[in-house]
A and B are shown apart, each in its own frame.
Chain A
Amino acid sequence: MSQGILRYLGSTMGRKYIMAISGLVWTLFVLTHMLGNLLIFASADAYNFYAYKLTSNPLIYVAEAALVVFIGMHAATGIGLRMRNSRTKPNLYAVTPKSAKGASVTSKSMIWSGTITLVFLILHLITFKFGAYYETTVDGILMRDIHKLVVECFSQTGYVVWYGVCLVLVGMHLYHGVASSFQTLGINHPKFNNAIKGFGWAYSIVVALGFLAVPFYVFFVKG
């Protein structure tokens, strides 16, 4: 990589490309994660077998490493830009406009919805990936009973509330992020702008509701 490219990527515009691309990688990841979670509606065995298939594939380490690199880039670049932007706009106005000359709640709060999402993600990994290890046998194969742990966690009111709040924030982050990354990557056309905005809206709702379906199902139906 020539030095030239690094100067481009380090500019305020280049760093936005980094935000958009790393954000889109995680946007796709959360969708697949959410769809996998829905297997809990099929059966406990299906859920465990899916998790087993996923974690026993050696490619998982490559995927995990990529996800860690991308979220690291996304967080570090996002925090760096936010710090720069606080410096370049040290004072806001005495009156906050309610018109379009102001800014939407989701776009203003990206740094906060993002930070809480990151904290949630770390705790989430501790709770599930590195959490209690139960065992079960499906089709004669000994594997981790992740289903049991999920049911345990989502039977606790406090955990369901915390999970619910975090997922709403994830949805808000996606709502601004998905449509915004199209713009950052230069995809903007009067013909498609409404569709892009609608896509971002639908995507964030579907992902958030998909994730939220599991704790509600466990808490109210299974619990």
Chain B
Amino acid sequence: MAGNNNSRTMRINLKVWRQKNQNTEGRLVDYALDNVSPDMSFLEMFDVLNEKLVAQNDEPVAFAHDCREGICGSCAMVIDGEPHGPQTGTTTCQLHMRTFSDGDTIVVEPFRAKAFPVVKDLVTNRTALDRIQAAGGYVSVATGNAPDGNAIPIAKEIADMAMDAAACIQCGACVAACRNGSAMLFVSAKVSQFSLLPQGQAERERRVSRMVWQMDEEDFGSCTNMGSCAAACPKEIKVENIARMNREFGRAMIFGRDRKQTAED
């Protein structure tokens, strides 16, 4: 793709975080790229950089990516201090170089939080989120045939809210954006998607409690209501969900039938 449209190419200066592994110190390294097409995605620009580095016998920049169509949540970079870059509601793979200008210097760093250790360069280990999900983010059901889709009536507004919460792709941008390294937006989206629906009622108190215990155990920070998480979320999950989680957790604390048992889990 690069080079097809030479009249419109850009020069981009990059400062990229290079870190050999979890145990070594990292640092920002300068790279310059000519002939960057405005139509490239941010990740394609990194592909070009890596081709150049490989040709020079240098170590390519490690970065996580998978679907490259904005739905898998793998691509995780902080671009000029903003998770997934300057555009709202966009994953890094869907961010295009036309968002930047010729001659721009762009600083690219990994997601930073104690719970997300750097594996290499821009790749972080975000499995802490999986463990929170496994702690309670599910509905236990008897297996068998799938029930009829319309057997349980759900108001359109409620279904929409649950669907909006379920749009979370678990990329971790909320944690990366938060100055406290808090995972509350993620956890609240997962809590909300179930607690809004009838199927999620049976386990609602246990679910929120166990997910919060796990979140604390994984060393995520606390929420101070700054709202950076929602601004950075590529799926535009709202802080309303955090308020809902606050209600759910308070409800479990005050009225939870199995509160004592859940607290001792």
Contact = CB atoms under 8 A, between A and B. Distances in A.
Interface residues of A, number: 49
A57 interface: no
B253 to A, nearest CB: 4
Nearest to A104: B226
6 contacts: A12-B216, A13-B249, A88-B181, A97-B82, A101-B228, A184-B223
Contacts of B220: 12, 88
Interface string A1-45: 011111111011111110000000000000000000000000000
Contacts of A102: 81-82, 228
A103 interface: yes
B52 interface: no
A183 B216 contact: no
Contact of A100 (B112, B224, B228, B242): B228
Interface of B: 15, 28, 78, 80-83, 86, 88, 107, 109, 112-115, 177-182, 184, 209, 212-213, 215-216, 219-228, 231-232, 239-240, 242-247, 249-250, 252-253, 256, 259-260, 262-264
A183 B243 contact: yes
Interface stretch (A79-87, A125-133, A135-143): A79-87
A55 interface: no
B209 A8 contact: yes
Contacts of B81: 93-97, 101-102
B52 to A, nearest CB: 23
A84 B78 contact: no
Given A84-B221, A89-B112, A11 B259 contact: no
A194 interface: no
Contacts of B262: 4
Contacts of A180: 224-225
Interface of A: 2-9, 11-17, 81, 84-85, 87-97, 99-104, 107-108, 110, 176, 179-180, 183-190
Given A87-B114, A92-B112, A94-B109, A13 B212 contact: yes
Contacts of B252: 8
A95 B107 contact: yes
B231 A101 contact: yes
A89 B228 contact: no
Contacts of B209: 8
A91 B178 CA distance: 11
